[in-house]
Amino acid sequence: MAQSTQAPTLVYLVTGGCGFLGEHIVRMLLEQEPRLRELRVFDLHLGSWLEELKTGPVQVTAIQGDVTEAHEVAAAVAGSHVVIHTAGLVDVFGKASPKTIHKVNVQGTQNVIEACIRTGTQFLVYTSSMEVVGPNVKGHPFYRGNEDTPYEAVHQHPYPCSKALAEQLVLEANGRKVNGGLPLVTCALRPTGIYGEGHQIMRDFYNQGLRFGGRLFRAVPASVEHGRVYVGNVAWMHVLVARELEQRAPLMGGQVYFCYDKSPYKSYEDFNMEFLGPCGLRLIGTHPLLPYWLLVLLATLNALLQWLLRPLVLYTPLLNPYTLAMANTTFTVSTNKAQRHFGYKPIFSWEESKARTIHWVQALDQGPGTGGHCGPYSRS
């Protein structure tokens, strides 16, 4: 690849570039990758905020397309140096069928890999998930674990199943020869629960709190830790991996990295309150208000109702057996693999991550803005 002193030459493609994480990756690339000549943003649904980026020095090319359509993916990949494959169907509420989740997450990833091979693109970064590891269906805790911590990864839900299969495809593709004879270099990033500007579930919790007169009711014990990571740091990690993959291919190729930063270890609800609290919401109860067996019953009832109502209406409540198990099982990471392998350090401190997220939640009251979900990354 070109040196930073030369004119920008690199072409990057970000699939899912208009999603929650994708938008942050796109903006981070424009700010932090001086060698970028063209940035292709590929998504099923393009955001209008992309227009404002087209006036900058980097050519931003918006491509409306579907990762399940191999020819659309190949056309977008052709001529790019690096692909960041973030597009995915994130559904743990039963909105999409297992078949659709598999098609987008697994077949879509296979299409991206084959497009790289066929068109000669050598570097592929895949956005995987902590869910590839766990929590597993047995509810085993994963406490401050790292990439080498033994854990029985057993999946039943379509989303983690699909992410695990897709990650495996990406890692197995490392070393395959791309058109022209050079080896494909791949790696996978595994974010824990991402938060920050544009996070839909945080928005849902906020709105739910407003509906209940500014109150949320504790559902899971405060002692259950759930790993969280700020979206800006996840985006930065993608940018850094993409940048370092060529120089450090023997070390980084075929590797997985958890995404981490200095966000505190807390329960899912207590962590959300770090942002929702300053926005006027209160979490009621130091212990869960309902006994666990009752929550399990309600979650099961919700699943049953979803199944019964499916022919008539899509019933997708927040609480189901899977989300309850997720929130109720400790899963936190403690690792420095990304630092050791490619010099990653979080670009946003916990204080900055928190302030930016609070600012975004506060702005939700003012209604939707004209831009994207997140602002620019320029630091004061």
Ligand X SMILES: CC(C)CCC[C@@H](C)[C@H]1CC[C@H]2[C@@H]3[C@H](O)CC4=CC(=O)CC[C@]4(C)[C@H]3CC[C@]12C
Contacts with ligand X by CB under 6 A lie at 90, 92, 129-131, 193, 201, 219-220, 226, 268, 318-319, 323-324, 326-327
Is residue 222 within 8 Å of 161, Cβ to Cβ?
no
For residue 212, what are its two tokens? 């209940």
Catalytic residue among 159, 206, 257, 322: 159
Strand-pair partners of 103: none
Residues 99-118 that bind ligand NAI (CB under 6 A): 104, 108
Helix segments in the chain, DSSP class H: 20-32, 50-53, 70-77, 98-102, 108-119, 158-173, 200-211, 231-244, 249-252, 268-276, 292-309, 321-327, 337-342, 350-364
**C-beta of 129 vs 306, nearer to ligand NAI:** 129
Residue nearest to ligand X (CB): 193
Under the criterion CB under 6 A, does residue 227 sit at the interface with ligand NAI? no
Give the one entry of ligand NAI, ligand X, none that residue 318 binds, where binding means its C-beta sits below a cut-off of 5 to 8 angstroms depending on kind.
ligand X
Please, which residues have CB within 8 angstroms of residue 242's CB and are 6 or more apart in sequence? 12, 29, 33, 82, 84, 123, 125
Pick one of 26, 90, 113, 216: the residue that binds ligand NAI (CB under 6 A): 90
Give the one entry of ligand NAI, ligand X, none that residue 19 binds, where binding means its C-beta sits below a cut-off of 5 to 8 angstroms depending on kind.
ligand NAI
Give yes or no: 344 in active site. Answer: no
Spatial CA neighbour of 83 closest among 105, 114, 106:
114
Residues 4-23 that bind ligand NAI (CB under 6 A): 16, 18-22
Spatial CA neighbour of 361 closest among 197, 211, 178:
197
Question: Among 82-90, 213-221, 311-319, 337-345, which window interacts with ligand NAI (CB under 6 A)?
Answer: 82-90
Catalytic residue numbers, as ranges: 159
Chain positions contacting ligand NAI, by CB under 6 A: 16, 18-22, 43-45, 66-68, 86-90, 104, 108, 127, 129, 163, 191, 193-194
